[in-house]
Amino acid sequence: MELFFLIVLLLLLGALVSVIARRRKPFELKNFDRDRSLSLKAFLAFLIVLHHSSQPLCKNGETFFFQFWFWGPAIVGLFFFLTGYGLLKSLKSKEGYMKTFMRKRFLKILPPYIIAIVIYQCYIACTGNFDFGILVSDFMKGCPPIPNSWYIVAIILFYLLFYFVFRFIRSIGVSLVLMWLLSIAYMVIIKYIGWGDWWWISTLALNVGMTYSYFEPSIKEKIGKHPLLSCIVAIVLLAALFAFTYFDLAKNFISGFPSYSLAFWLLPLFVIFAIYYIGMPQGRLFMFLGNISYELYIVHGAFVWLMPYSGSNFLFLFCIYAVSILVAIGLHKICEPIVRNN
């Protein structure tokens, strides 16, 4: 995680440099719009594939990739943050958003996931290893039907919670509080039934994203008035978060609570802050990868664990990325008309 913190620090330093360079000129914060969100998702999809690919490589004795082994929750935390941020932003800006929420959201996420499950399980059946009873038993133990796809199952649950909370409670503030309580209850239940920590350790980033989206206009107004001071404060706060994580200070308050989970929930705030100042790389490639990031997340786990290792790290990674992207493109092309026509 130290390297991840370093990358975020470099982003904040880039923001600081941009402010200093334009100190004598009016400074306008960039908007975190759909295009920048897609660019960020493109980077995150690339990194989550690298994270999961590092696991079999480390098991083969590779030490270089060990630094990426622990990046998963931080990356998924950013995905959760973007989801929560987007949900509340859409709720505030689109009239009648909740009336079509279930149809539009689930038509977007369920068809690709179901198709991928069917194809993957058909492959398992062809190898003679399919057993429906084991499939159900594994799922009840927290193992999804496609490797590394727990995030999809979790996000489906959080979509349902979001719908029932925001559909029937008019006050956004009350709804946000209730979502926080339900999300914490989800964490407690997951811990109690003994599923892996990855099922809960980054999920509160979704609530952070929703809450931040709610207060974003006033936050941007304040940091826009004092850009230099805001950058310095952000760097100091990042250092404090790193110290809290590195020295495991949470144990002084809550026994058994991992300090680094706080980083997974809060690091997205620093990333978004930096984007206000330095923006995101944009272009057709980033838009393209951002648009297939969901499908790439679904399918890559299967290829990580099915891809044979030939002894070449580069070839192993290249094949995983190439095959995963091609299959994600195909899955996106198949399912996109379903979303577009509804």
Could you list the pLDDT tens digit for every one of the 342 residues in the chain? 788 899 999 999 999 998 888 776 667 888 898 889 999 999 999 999 999 888 888 766 666 777 787 888 999 999 999 999 999 999 998 888 888 898 888 989 999 999 999 999 998 898 888 888 888 898 999 999 998 899 999 999 999 999 999 988 889 999 999 999 999 999 999 988 989 889 999 999 999 999 999 999 999 988 988 889 999 999 999 999 999 888 877 666 666 667 788 899 999 999 999 999 998 888 888 899 999 999 999 999 899 888 887 778 888 899 999 999 999 999 999 988 877 776
Q: Round to whole Å and give the CA distance between 117 and 10.
A: 39
pLDDT, residue 251, reads: 64
| Closest by CA position to 1, among listed 71, 54, 63, 66 | 71
Q: What amino acid occupies position 26? A: P
> Quick check: 199 and 80 in contact, CB under 8 A?
no
* Helices within 94-126 (DSSP H only): 101-126
Distance of CA 314 to the CA centre of its chain: 25
Which residues are within 8 A (CB) of 113 and not within 5 positions of it... i.e. 6 or more apart?
146, 149, 152, 298
pLDDT, residue 320, reads: 93
pLDDT, residue 162, reads: 96
H/E segment holding residue 25: none
* Helices within 169-203 (DSSP H only): 172-193
Q: Round to whole Å and give the CA distance between 43 and 221.
A: 28
Whole-structure pTM value: 0.93
Q: Count of CB atoms within 10 A of residue 80's CB?
A: 28
**Hunting for tokens 């998702």 — which residue is that?**
41
| Closest by CA position to 212, among listed 204, 260, 277, 230 | 204
| Closest by CA position to 67, among listed 164, 1, 156, 149 | 1
Q: Count of CB atoms within 10 A of residue 91's CB?
A: 18
pLDDT, residue 323, reads: 94
Q: Round to whole Å and give the CA distance between 246 and 259.
A: 8
**Hunting for tokens 């404090």 — which residue is that?**
240
- The tokens for 79 are 């995905």
- The tokens for 296 are 């790439």
Angle at 123 (CA atoms; ends 118, 129), nearest 5 degrees: 110
In b/e form, how buried is each residue of 184-198, taking b as 16+ CB within 10 angstroms? eebbeebeeeebeeb
Q: Round to whole Å and give the CA distance between 141 and 164.
A: 26
Q: What is the DSSP letter of 251?
A: G
Q: Round to whole Å and give the CA distance between 245 and 259.
A: 5
- The tokens for 329 are 């493109």
